[in-house]
Structure 1
Amino acid sequence: MQQLTLNEIKEATGGEFVGAAGVELALTGITTDSRKAGDGILFVPLAGERFDGHDFIDGAFEAGSPAALTHKDDIAAPPGRAIVRVADTKRALGDIARYYKRKYNVPTASVTGSVGKTTTKDLMCAVLSERYKTLKTPNNFNNDIGVPLTIFGLEKEHEAAVIELGMNHFGEIEYLASIAEPDVAVITNIGMSHIENLGSQEGIFKAKMEIAERFTEKNTLIVNGDDKFLKTVTSDKYRVIRFGLDKSNDVYAEDIISKGLSGIEFTVVNGKDRFKAEVTLPGIHNVYNALAAVCTGMCFGLSADECAAGLRNCEYTSSRLEIIEHKGIEVINDCYNSSPSSVRAALDVQKNTSQKRRVAILGDVLEMGEFAAKAHYEMGTYVAVCGTDALVTVGENARHIAEGAAAAGMEDIVSYGDTDAAVKDIEKLVCPGDSVLVKASHGMDFYKITEAIKGM
């Protein structure tokens, strides 16, 4: 992080000083974790469901932090330390990030969408990195805490930034976009993720479009033109670029060749310009993600050769169609998150395996609300249609996956109530020669299943 003064923190948050430390005190870092507190680091305590960061302010000071925020009235600063009292510490974190971004601004691209955000983020960064020193969202830091912390990572050498924006309620994308202030934004697709909170796909579409709410003629929105909702996007306020497989899109892919689990090749067509491209992740859905990255690169002035090199050299976040080989077992580790469409895409990918038997270990897709039973049942039908040899379901909603598969004629099905129960039986469920797809929503802790297989 580049320097901010304590007075700038006060200005950014509209807070007030408590304590005697100098207003010109130089800060070189911001943390919400008291274990990372230290000299020059501002501590921002956040109140959560299990812990309240205010309980760790004294510890942050003892570790050397010169200042902290608070939204409580009974917090006092020890000698030589300062506190800035604000209305809400989490909101203040965003206010500081917005101030910091404007002070040390670089051209920025943001990405949101129901599925594919993180992979698309990785590809966008890889493409831009062919020309620019690029900051990107680490891991899955895409919420009202992660986005500010990402922005604080902007250093003097950065020339561009790729920031992922997530949400599960209305208003979140608009708020995060007000902090990141992207010049270019990508919406990957409109699926069913978080439909429990947003009511319908139309609601999800409306929420995702918040990313362009503040856009002007200087901005560009890049959308999946094959998506039934996003293909309707038009604007006289900002530029819209569409990508997809349909030739009606501004940028599209053709001559697609699958390389099995090692990736996919295709030709990118942009008007009269054409170039060969490839990605090292399997699945047709990753062609869409790659096209979004190419469109972003073009908006930032990159050449076709630079875009192709970025796609080819991309390093991906783990647990997204990650192929792991262990003692004759092939694990398709896609356990970070899940949705009905991404389950189908992962099953399609697994069909490319050369292993003797295909096993799908599928867990609950969360936040589906009233759509849960039907959506999981349809996933089960697709498991059977894909010719999967064995199905293991984990969780209450996932029992509907088992029902759908059984109704479609599948016989080798085992169901568990929770992840730990499946882990205990893992050696009964998989064996050498298997291709094992591991996929569920993040809250199902399916990393335990992947680790259990690796420990066999």
Structure 2
Amino acid sequence: MKNKWTATRLQSITQGILAGPPTWTATTFTHDSRQTTPGQLYVAIKGETVDGHDYVEQAFQNGAVAALVSHIPPRLPKDSPLLLVPNVENALLQIGHYVRDQLTATVIGITGSSGKTTTKDMLQLCLSQQGKTHANFRSFNSRWGVPLTLAECMGDEKYVVLEMGMSAPGEIAALTHMARPHIALITTINPAHLADLGSTENIACAKAEIFEGVPSEGVALIPGDLPETSLLLEKAKAQKIAHIFLFGEGPQCDLRLMSYTPDGTHAQVKITLQETPYTYTLNLLGKHFAMNSLAVLGAVQGAKANVPQALHTLAQFQGSDRRGQVIHLGHHISLFDESYNANPGSMKAALEAFGSHPHTGHRYLVLGDMRALGANSKKYHEGLKDLVLATQPRGVFTYGPEMKALHDQIKSSVDAHHYEDLEALITDVLDILKEKDAILVKASNAVKLNKVSDALMKKFIR
């Protein structure tokens, strides 16, 4: 395939209208005008707060050869090279469909309430040792991120790994009908997006849309220990998928976690894949990471790749950015950076993993709001009390209006401080850490507790 995105080719795929000289050829796509490089096609995406059409001029200044737009932005020269379409996101889906039709690779789709990016990164690492593998950049998993990921394929890949996110029903369906994954993997179901979806059952139904794109001879990998397992199983069976496997700890699971033994900075994991036993090492602490790795090995097996080789590769995995990475700072301080996202399930997993980490100093928690939990938000934040106290922290720093509920629950049991000012929080956290302490930073991404992690790394860099 070796994609060369000529103006006429993209016009044919999208049925758009070319404005300006139709002689351009784009090397790749970008949606970020600030990071546009010469030769790229700038895709003007209209988001909830930012409209990419406002930055087309900047993209051209940075070297874009053309822009994919739904209307002509003001202030552009009349001869600016544009591809006009009625809807930019629909045009991206058309491009994604076109690329997918050309692929001969085994395609794996991943979704779930948490653990998507870690699972994607683990699987990408394992498969890349066995053949050319393409996957989303970071968490490029949205209704426009997935088609842009597909558009980067060259056609000679052996494996393509696509993480799929969503915030509303129907979004996964659109992505999976485009991606048509041979293997569909759901990591877990947690109370996330409750403000929009209302219940974990509705979340499971939205995630289960991924099965709609799987061919009848394909593979479905489903978490087997959840209250929603039977619902997910029913949805997969309704698509007449031939190979459906449960993964988890229970005896009903085809892919089973038999034991998880943390030991210092790593863990030994024992599993069975359809009754075949395996043992391997993970350099990440937390049973949820072991569960992610179990699902990854199920996907490796489903892709007919080499499982023993993947076991060896898993030992090299160091974690995904801001998703449970343990960063060893100066003064032997350990930073557990979980600042990218949070919901009740992932918060539980992170607190349990942090509590199991060996240390000789004190433990501190910096916890920010878990967003989009709807009417039950206060209950979910208050419900963290026992998990927080079980880590035996020296101090707990909470931030944001939602986390005030947790602060009120724990303030009589532990040294607790609540903040609505992020800079004040950062100042106090930087002052309190001493030699050999450990600190966990976790919140929904919009809370921006990554600034706490960044400040810690800047002050205590080795």
Which TM-score applies when normalising by structure 1?
0.92
Secondary structure class of the residue paired with 1:21: coil
Gaps of 5+ in 1: none
Is 1:92 aligned with 2:81?
A: no
What is the distance in 2 between the residues matched to 1:391 and 1:110?
38
Question: Equivalent residues in 2 for 1:307-346 (5 A)?
Answer: 307-326=310-329, 327-346=331-350
Match of 1:141 in 2: 140
Paired residues of 2:133 and 2:159 also in contact (CA < 8 A): yes
Spell out, residue by residue over 1:305-349, the C-alpha distance to the aligned partner (whole angstroms, 9 max, x if none). Answer: 122123222243221211122223221111111111221211211
Q: 1:64 to 1:410 in 2, by over 3 A?
A: closer
2:42 matches 1:19 = no
Change (3 A) 1:66 1:452: closer
Match of 1:425 in 2: 428
Q: Secondary structure of 2:213's match?
A: coil
**1:399-427 Cα shifts (integer Å, max 9, x gaps):** 11112224xx5131111113222012223
In 2: Cα distance, 1:434 partner to 1:412 partner: 16
Counterpart of 2:400 (choices 386, 395, 413) is 395
Structure 1 residue corresponding to 2:272, chosen from 269, 274, 278? 269
| Structure 1 counterpart of 2:207 | 208
Change beyond 3 A, Cα 1:102–1:323: same
In structure 1, C-alpha distance between the alignment counterparts of 2:95 and 2:18, rounded to whole Å:
15
- My pick for the range that moved more, 245-254 or 99-108, is 99-108
Task: Note closer, same or farther for the CA distance 1:97–1:402 as it changes in structure 2 (3 Å cut).
Answer: same
Contact 1:363 1:395 in 2 (8 A): yes
Is 2:373 the counterpart of 1:372?
Answer: no
Cα displacement (A) at 1:218: 2.4
Q: Find the counterpart in structure 1 of residue 100 from structure 2.
A: 101
Report whether the alignment pairs 1:246 with 2:250: yes
CA, structure 1 residues 77+21, in 2 after alignment: closer, same or farther (shift >3 Å)? farther
In the alignment, the residues of structure 1 paired with residue 160 and residue 44 of structure 2 have an alpha-carbon distance, to the nearest angstrom, of 26
- Contact 1:112–1:165 (CA under 8 A) maintained in structure 2: yes
Residue 289 of structure 1 pairs with residue 292 of structure 2:
yes
Q: Quick one: structure 1 residues 396 and 77, their matched pair in 2 at CA, closer, same or farther if it must change by over 3 Å? A: closer
SS where residue 109 of structure 1 aligns? Answer: strand
Q: Which amino acid aligns with 1:17?
A: L
Give, in angstroms, the shift of residue 190 of structure 1.
Answer: 0.8
Q: Which residue does the alignment assign to 1:347?
A: 351
2:309 corresponds to 1:306:
yes
**Equivalent position amino acid for 1:203 in 2:** N
Deviates more, 1:299-308 or 1:221-230: 299-308
Greater mean deviation of Cα atoms: 410-419 or 151-160? 151-160
> Who is 2:120 aligned against?
121
- When the two structures are aligned, how many residues end up with a matched partner? 451
Contact 1:128 1:310 in 2 (8 A): no
In 2, the alpha carbon distance for the partners of 1:244 and 1:440 equals 26
Deviations 1:344-367, CA, capped at 9 Å, x for gaps: 211211222223321111110011
Which residue pairs with 2:45 in the alignment? 46
How many Å separate the matches in 2 of 1:88 and 1:200? 31
Q: Secondary structure at the match of 2:384?
A: helix
Give secondary structure in 2 for the equivalent of 1:132. coil
Residue type of the partner of 2:426?
V
Higher mean displacement: 433-442 or 62-71:
62-71
| CA deviation string 1:233-259 (max 9, x = no partner) | 141610211111112211112133212
Identity of aligned residues (%): 27
Q: Which ranges in structure 2 are unaligned for 5 or more consecutive residues?
A: none
How far off is 1:45 after superposition? 1.7
**Alignment CA distance shift 1:264-1:67 (3 Å):** same
SS of equivalent residue, structure 1 residue 365: coil
CA RMSD of aligned residues (A): 2.3
Q: Matched residues in 2 for 1:160 and 1:278: separation?
A: 24
Kept in 2: contact 1:324–1:330 (CA 8 A) = yes
| 1:204-246 residue CA offsets vs partner (Å, 9 max, x unmatched) | 1111011112333122110111122124414161021111111
CA contact (8 A) 1:130 1:309 kept: no
Equivalent position SS for 2:377: helix
Specify the code of the residue in structure 2 equivalent to 1:197: D
**SS of equivalent residue, structure 1 residue 274:** strand
Name the stretch that deviates more: 425-434 or 61-70.
61-70
- Identify which of 436, 439, 461 aligns with 1:436: 439
Find the counterpart in structure 2 of residue 34 from structure 1. 33
